Amino acid sequence: MKTIDSYNFSGKRALIRVDFNVPLNERFEITDDTRIQATLPTIRKVLADGGACILMSHLGRPKEGPTNKYSLKHLVNPLSVILGIPVKFADDCIGASAAEQAASLQAGEILLLENLRFYKEEEKGDAAFAEKLAQLGDVWVNDAFGTAHRAHASTAVMGQFFADRVCGYVMQAEIDNAQRILEHAERPFTAIMGGAKISDKILIIERLLDKVDNLIIGGGMTYTFTKAQGGAIGKSLLEADKQELALEILEKAKAKGVNIVMPVDNVCADAFSNDANRQVVAKGQIPDEWEGLDIGPETAKLFADIVRNSKTILWNGPMGVFEFPNFATGTNAIAEAVVEATEKNGAFSLIGGGDSASAINNAGYGDRVSYVSTGGGALLEYMEGKTLPGVAALA
């Protein structure tokens, strides 16, 4: 795999697959530019070498071709401000206009292509579409780890049309940090798994049982464990068909000597709303018509104490409905403990993308942990041991 530091882009048009799938508000303003900021070193390396950048990305999930809501034109002005140079825009990602603009691009210039997913061929991994994209540049740089688990035209298929395939800084950092967690973890190693469903996390949980000292489980998936153990969970999230699996996970952890830690109390509510009435109850004692929306104060203290004393921490998934301020307390307590372990205990902390990344950034702690992944699903699949098409295509 060619690394970006080993390649000279002088006189080259670098076709860079970036992940600019950023959230926009109703005025089409970027509300979180983490993914854009992450790609800046790769873009600047190409420009510093004397090359030109052609940036390609998707935005959202457009269903019926081009739509204003998902146009990358909304990113042109903020990108120009962030980079300090005017960014050109092609109103299509293939075709005569895009080809002309790409061909006339000079060293030090940047061209942003329109949303790749305006063509269904992108997600289908269509080779003819990939070849048309490939004709725009001299070298392919893949820096979109967040989509590396998809065998799409721009993320994987187009690699076959380039002699020079280069791994960008984001992609390299994601792989290096995941490998550090998987292969070189300093002990005690604690994994914190949150989120709604056991089914989403089962593969990574099973792999981590061979590696971690402590496995903390929070979030919506805990109620399936509680129900399986005979507890009352009211209207809380439940995967009824995964109760046996939950018990199997507990048995496997015990057999492997892993300290698996579950909530001892919960904050529950009488409606799925920030303004709902709420109460703290012991594990397995949620009243009928109430639902658990956060870990309780005793659980937050229990989890935080374990995290603070860890030397390696992997966090994937919130502890509750952190989008509601009244139910973000548990998630914020974990975030604070991860920061404390990192800063005071010298721990290596990897925040596993998606909601966990949003939670730690929203709390203002993004720059106080070791690494915040930009790839949710991609990181999970990589850590599960799967081959990612976007990574394999760089070989």
Check if 50 is active-site: no
Mark out the alpha helices in the chain (DSSP H runs).
Answer: 34-49, 76-83, 96-103, 120-124, 127-134, 169-183, 198-208, 222-228, 243-255, 297-308, 329-345, 354-362, 376-383, 389-392
Q: What is the DSSP letter of 55?
A: E
Q: Which of 13, 17, 35, 283 is catalytic?
A: 35
Token digits of residue 68: 């204003």
How many CB atoms are closer than 10 A to CB 146?
27
Handedness of CA 169, 58, 25, 68 (dihedral sign): positive
Check if 283 is active-site: no
Check if 354 is active-site: yes
Check if 35 is active-site: yes
Token digits of residue 214: 């402590």
Q: Rounded distance, CA 262 to CA 256, Å? A: 17
Q: Which of 207, 192, 178, 216 is nearest to 315 (CA)?
A: 192
Task: With both helix axes pointing from N to C terminus, report the angle between 329-345 and 354-362 in degrees, rounded to the nearest 10.
Answer: 80
Spatial contact of 223 and 237, defined as CB atoms under 8 Å apart: yes
Q: Rounded distance, CA 93 to CA 118, Å? A: 9
Q: Which of 146, 320, 354, 390 is catalytic?
A: 354
Helices and strands (H and E) in the chain: how many: 14, 18
Q: Which of 197, 252, 311, 368 is catalytic?
A: 197
The catalytic site residues sit at 35, 197, 354, 377
